[in-house]
Structure 1
């Protein structure tokens, strides 16, 4: 898919999903959110960038961690996601973070670099995830941390049939190669290729729990990456894709609800210090929390 087209699909798709995302997904992706924050080792006074910030969950947590002497910038392609993040931060009285529309493959470049860069479940939607990671790494200060999460192996995500179900009814794929960054050692190698040291990755198995068929379908079709395509379906097509999706989840049904297997992959690394010196690794103090 043409990169510009892919960005437009993601921008307007998440504009459609914003009103439903937190309701249906915030608790479901909590293990990935916590994993990224733990690996980021954010400290008071840090300058943090949150790429593909969505409704601001990671950025707001980072703003709390950096305190008044630190700062956080969140960027996202979706203007409505940015508006939602601003509103959430404002409601909490946070004045050390700001949000703006921006492309993850062309993030801000402050003098001296960022102390931490986060990207929670955003790389899968970018036209060139490897290039995005390389650019993020260049935006880091020496010794700074990059922590990211992606969805894992397709075979470990029972909800994955949503893409083929929708793609069969649209002219272009909604999320081409969505699971590529979570397959095998792809993310691990990409972090190495970006020039980071101390690279590590780990997989987290989860169950996405929904209390009813309607809730499971609303999460998939209204609050997720296929929201734009779904918004353009007529009523019979919407009924058909919901029924097909539920058939694909039959093995996950528990009474009226669903427990759907999923997998997250957390990856992280450190930007090396200048040649001839050792990386300055930030170590979380005992008892500290993100």
Structure 2
């Protein structure tokens, strides 16, 4: 089994999310808008502020922030995946927002001068970064004194079944695809881990709480299509394994989703952890 290589991991992330950039809004837009709400609310944005949205994806938090800091405020969204950046630009143009811009960039090496922004947002982005400590230090570096960061990460696996269904099946049937050292989507939710990470990065006044959400979807087939629509890695995996194994993964994932049926709707837990901190 190959040792974890951060550079190769970042390239694989770019490739995976480039595959889903065009379908991300259709299959995951509503979900990530819901997840962004507490991140935006805790940021307490005000007109005239300069905001950075790290790992902006298709620009969901960026566009909300742009409306809130208008007319004099500005928002910059940055993402490592070119396809996501292009989708974010298109969405901003479609909404006629002139105070938001998007560019490619690495969260662990932000292409901005010190103390440029009043607020940094990061909605479900930190979990993808190989060096979370470095990313947090970069967020602090580009914040003005007294500036704040508001971000979200996934909660523990037992409280985020919407993600765990497919992930558990893949781990059981295709264990060789999981490289030791690959960033976990859930480890930042363990007690004290995120707060310590903020402290090591130099932040103060850290506040962390959990927000309960549910993925509401019609049936197992809809759940599977959503998973494919937002996860390029699942798409790539299915193309690299025997068709029979791919069929089993799909069937088990659909059945796993159906276990959360409540009447005419499937309601699957997807709790998030939201953190707010200040640069002293």
Q: 1:228 to 1:243 in 2, by over 3 A?
A: closer
Partner of 1:267: 275
Q: Give distance in 1, aligned partners of 2:275 and 2:53.
A: 15
Deviation sequence 1:72-100 (CA, Å, 0-9, x none): 11111111110000000011111211111
Q: 1:48 to 1:270 in 2, by over 3 A?
A: same
Q: Which has the higher helix share?
A: 2
How far apart are 1:172 and its partner, in Å? 3.2
How far apart are 1:51 and its partner, in Å? 0.5
Q: Give distance in 1, aligned partners of 2:66 and 2:250.
A: 39
Q: Give distance in 1, aligned partners of 2:114 and 2:161.
A: 44
Partner of 1:165: 169
C-alpha contact 1:75 1:82 (8 A) present in aligned 2: yes
Q: Give distance in 2, aligned partners of 1:47 and 1:227.
A: 36
Partner of 1:282: none
How far apart are 1:59 and its partner, in Å? 0.6
Q: Which piece of structure 1 moves more, 127-136 or 232-241? A: 232-241
C-alpha contact 2:219 2:257 (8 A) present in aligned 1: no
The unaligned stretches of length 5 or more in structure 2 are: none
Q: Give distance in 2, aligned partners of 1:154 and 1:124.
A: 13
Q: Give distance in 1, aligned partners of 2:125 and 2:115.
A: 25
How far apart are 1:256 and its partner, in Å? 6.1
Partner of 2:154: 151
Q: Give distance in 2, aligned partners of 1:149 and 1:106.
A: 20
Partner of 1:100: 103
C-alpha contact 1:117 1:136 (8 A) present in aligned 2: yes
TM superposition score normalised by structure 1? 0.87
Alignment match of 1:254 (pick from 242, 258, 262):
262
The alignment of Structure 1 onto Structure 2 pairs a total of residues equal to 272
C-alpha contact 1:77 1:103 (8 A) present in aligned 2: yes
User: Structure 1 residue runs of 4+, over 4 Å off?
Assistant: none
User: Secondary structure of the equivalent of 2:213?
Assistant: strand
How far apart are 1:138 and its partner, in Å? 1.3
Q: 1:231 to 1:94 in 2, by over 3 A?
A: farther
The unaligned stretches of length 5 or more in structure 1 are: 273-290
User: Secondary structure of the equivalent of 1:110?
Assistant: coil
User: Secondary structure of the equivalent of 2:270?
Assistant: strand
User: Secondary structure of the equivalent of 1:209?
Assistant: strand
| Mapping 1:67-146, distance limit 5 Å | 67-110=70-113, 112-146=115-149
Q: Give distance in 1, aligned partners of 2:132 and 2:13.
A: 14
Q: Give distance in 2, aligned partners of 1:258 and 1:226.
A: 24
